[in-house]
Structure 1
């Protein structure tokens, strides 16, 4: 196995940087058709992702998946967040016509879904979420409104 893949697997961002600066090709593929960025995305190695040149983060594997697809499919929300913050789009299609969002949804990866749609993940305290939603609902006409002559509930 090439040292660049070993560094990606071991979350060794420094070695990834040194190897790429020394001429290692970040778009090389392993026997599974993945680049080192795909491997890092699958494993949740954000530091390795950040050490990669942008063009390496747009490479596709044999399923036409980019690292963002792989991160979403594996529930790696932090990697999804890093890739999006680096300017990578989240609407590309793989060979089956699926977006990273669809892959995250299919896998039940709620935090990754929220990252991909640009919303914060839900709070752990569901009662607080429910109460906030109740407070945000507009009152029905005539209910709780003295100007309309309705009862003050």
Structure 2
């Protein structure tokens, strides 16, 4: 039985008396397994977090005899005091929600992965400052990274409005926008590029630090690729259009070999991408890599006839000082 079925069945068994009790009951089923309960290594792969799987996450009603209840110091009269209590001081709840498990994930990370939207929004409201929303797991993923990976537009936007950093990098140097551009998540890209409106911050309990949205689009990940390069490699033309509209440099070079998006298109004989890029008046059709290779030379070296014809039609130089792989 998949985890989603387990969640659905457990939710059907609960009698929801009001929103508060519903949240409390739901939280009590989100128990991170103790280290001793795990005999399997983490299945995380750096992009698609699988921290929550049948070995990592235990769905069950909290037992009154569990040892993970909060000491309420007689502050709470609620019958739901195990794990988290909606009647206690918010700092107590915050310490529970933002404590890390053996994979470095907080309950906020896990709630996003499990699509527990009501809980996630509540967890965000418990943050004592924006720094709490930037806690990273062992893959250096913030909750915003996870929200993007899960294509959760609502949570993505709420995290941004609450001050989650849009330029936080994961273990591969990817910001959330890098991931969205690579995967072709147009809706998520739209939210990540859109500045935060004042109305979206009214639920915050603290003052937000300034952050630039959209972010610096020339930021490269640890492989040297900007968001534009990743979108080009995936042939996500709609995302390329958004990035260029927001000021991304169409001729920017990736940091390893100095290829532009046009080099990538020519090298892979991606005629659709080539046509898209060549329609721009600011495209440098003769841009050179660090090794002095133009898009035309890359296409010629791979015998990409269609790419060669398109580049020549747009004025690409058909000669070079070197006679090797030159185009006549």
Q: What is the TM-score with the length of structure 2 in the denominator?
A: 0.34
Aligned residues: 119
Match of 1:88 in 2: 248
1:61 aligns to what SS in structure 2? coil
Superposed CA deviations along residues 28-75 of structure 1, whole A, max 9, x for unmatched, are 111122111111011101121121222253321113321001110122
Q: 2:151 and 2:272 mapped to 1: Cα distance?
A: 22
Moved over 6 A (4+): none
Coordinate RMSD, CA, aligned: 1.9
Which of structures 1 and 2 has the larger relative contact order (alpha carbons within 8 angstroms, sep 6+)? 1
Which structure is higher in helix share?
1
Q: 1:31 and 1:6 mapped to 2: Cα distance?
A: 13
Which of 142, 145, 152 aligns to 1:2? It is 142
Structure 2 segments unaligned to the other structure (5+ residues): 1-140, 193-212, 281-328
Which of 13, 31, 51 aligns to 2:171? It is 31
Match of 1:45 in 2: 185
Pair 1:75 & 2:257 matched: no
Q: 2:189 and 2:217 mapped to 1: Cα distance?
A: 8
Superposed CA deviations along residues 60-95 of structure 1, whole A, max 9, x for unmatched, are 111332100111012212211221122222111111
Match of 1:106 in 2: 267
Structure index of larger Rg: 2
CA contact (8 A) 2:142 2:168 kept: no
> How has the CA–CA distance of structure 1 residues 105 and 14 changed in structure 2, closer, same or farther, with 3 Å as cutoff?
farther
Moved more, 101-110 or 84-93: 101-110
